[in-house]
Amino acid sequence: MQQPVGCWFELMKKDLKVALVHDFLNQYGGAERVLEVLCEMFPAAPIYTIVYDKERMRGKFSEREIRTSFFQKLPRYFRRNMKWVLPFLPTAPETFDLREFDLVISSSGAWTKGIVTRLDTLHIAYIHSPMRFIWDYNEKYLKEDRHNKLGFFIRPFLSYLRLWDKLAADRPDYLIANSKYTQARIAKYYRRESTVIYPPVGKLQNPKSKIKITNSEENSKFFLIVSRLSPYKKIDRVIEAFNKLRLPLVVVGTGKQEKALKLMAKDNVKFLGWVPDEKMLPIYENARAFIFPSVDDFGIAPAEALMRGVPVIAVRRGGVQEITEEGRTGEFFDSATPEVIADAVRRFGENEKNYDREYIARSAGKFSKERFVRDMREYINNAISKSQCQMSNKI
């Protein structure tokens, strides 16, 4: 049952000291969008993070008080290539001094759920994903070429990380999952219950200046990707498919695979790089469909597309299945191979006239920022009330 709004303000009047904790502030993605809304909910709360890269964050969170770990003092190369200091990462969140706070909310896809708090400090962890490379992709990670010669040493290290991750997941008082898919993974790997609160998807406003996508009128409609350009996102498979289909494809985003993707793409594929939110609206307005080939625990990017009335063509795995209605708000494909992706695009083309963009936009209403704030407030209120009762009973 939803708590009255007044209850939220009563709790805040008690002068609770609140802190927000986030894994890394060195790239902007879905997890950082969640953190932004948490910052709006708690405007006085400092942010604790392992590393903060002001340049890569492009001004995001610059007005906040940010407290970093000892990793911030490392040379820039290591701060931007954290894999070289991976064995020491579990210690970083454990060194945060959070003794002054009554409520700590961690936004964790890996490390920060492992913070250590006072006995009477309430710790709520918003879990974006249990660490994929040590649970779901353990053997795949080991089979990668760069790890073949080190497999003997890496196996026991990954076993150590799994042990640490399980123990770290026991530390928060409450766990929130960003999807039912994540909730199932939390139950399997951590053996803990969690509550699902979907991430917030904001509305785009009309921009003052628009981005020119294409030069020709007949080529003004295109398929769209908005993603970090990393290997696990499988953008290369989509480009291979569109190289054969010869249909217009627009790619928004940057990443370490960007150069390689540009080299393999034909002239029907256009790269826009990083685009600020205020200039994304005309891009969505001209997109025929949004392509999503990777397995994500939720997938804020396809949810954003749906909120703008854009159908989604996605792999039939992960949290995207919870937000896409096959045949009405999008199409699925069963494996991220160029041939299968191309077939899904063809199926979409055959059914495209049946898609109702107004219905698609309405279907994404459950992912609104307003709904997220309301659900989080209710959840935090209930957690604080329950925690206070438990402490009273112990006394």
Q: Closest Cα to residue 312, out of 295, 297, 293, 298?
A: 293
> Can you give the residue ranges of every domain in the chain?
5-200+368-394, 217-366
What's the length of the chain?
395
Question: Which pLDDT score, from 0 to 100, does residue 133 have?
Answer: 82
> How confident is the model over 298-321, as a mean pLDDT?
95
Q: Closest Cα to residue 300, out of 181, 199, 153?
A: 199
Per residue in 82-99, pLDDT (tens digit) is 888 988 999 999 999 999
Per residue in 221-247, pLDDT (tens digit) is 999 999 999 988 999 999 999 999 999
Q: How confident is the model at residue 391 (pLDDT cuts 50, 70, 90)?
A: low
* Whether pLDDT at 58 is above 90: no
Question: Which pLDDT score, from 0 to 100, does residue 217 have?
Answer: 37
Question: Which pLDDT score, from 0 to 100, does residue 203 have?
Answer: 61
Q: Over pLDDT 70: what percentage of the chain?
A: 86
* Residue 190, amino acid: Y
Q: How confident is the model at residue 152 (pLDDT cuts 50, 70, 90)?
A: low
> How confident is the model over 111-131, as a mean pLDDT?
96
- Please tell me the distance from the alpha carbon of residue 22 to that of residue 221, in angstroms, as a whole number: 38
Question: Which pLDDT score, from 0 to 100, does residue 45 have?
Answer: 97
Q: At the top level of CATH, which class does the domain 217-366 belong to?
A: alpha beta
Alpha helices in the chain (DSSP H): 5-13, 30-41, 54-57, 76-79, 91-94, 138-143, 151-169, 180-190, 235-245, 258-264, 281-285, 300-307, 320-323, 338-351, 357-363, 369-394
Q: For 32, which DSSP code?
A: H
- Please tell me the distance from the alpha carbon of residue 101 to that of residue 254, in angstroms, as a whole number: 37
Entry pTM: 0.86
Pairing of strands 174-177, 195-196: parallel
* Whether pLDDT at 1 is above 50: no
Q: Closest Cα to residue 212, out of 143, 286, 156?
A: 286
Q: How confident is the model at residue 134 (pLDDT cuts 50, 70, 90)?
A: confident
| 5-200+368-394 and 217-366 in the same fold | yes
> How confident is the model over 358-376, as a mean pLDDT?
94
* Whether pLDDT at 144 is above 90: no
**Fold exhibited by the domain 5-200+368-394:** Rossmann fold (3.40.50)
Cβ proximity of 372 and 199 under 8 Å: yes
> How confident is the model over 287-314, as a mean pLDDT?
95
- Please tell me the distance from the alpha carbon of residue 279 to that of residue 395, in angstroms, as a whole number: 55
Average pLDDT, the chain: 88
Question: Which pLDDT score, from 0 to 100, does residue 392 have?
Answer: 59
> How confident is the model over 254-275, as a mean pLDDT?
96
Question: Counting runs of H as helices and runs of E as strands, what totals does the chain give?
Answer: 16, 13
Question: Which pLDDT score, from 0 to 100, does residue 15 have?
Answer: 78
Residue 371 burial (C-beta neighbours within 10 Å; 0-12, 13-18, 19+) = middle
* Chain CA centroid to CA 173, Å: 22
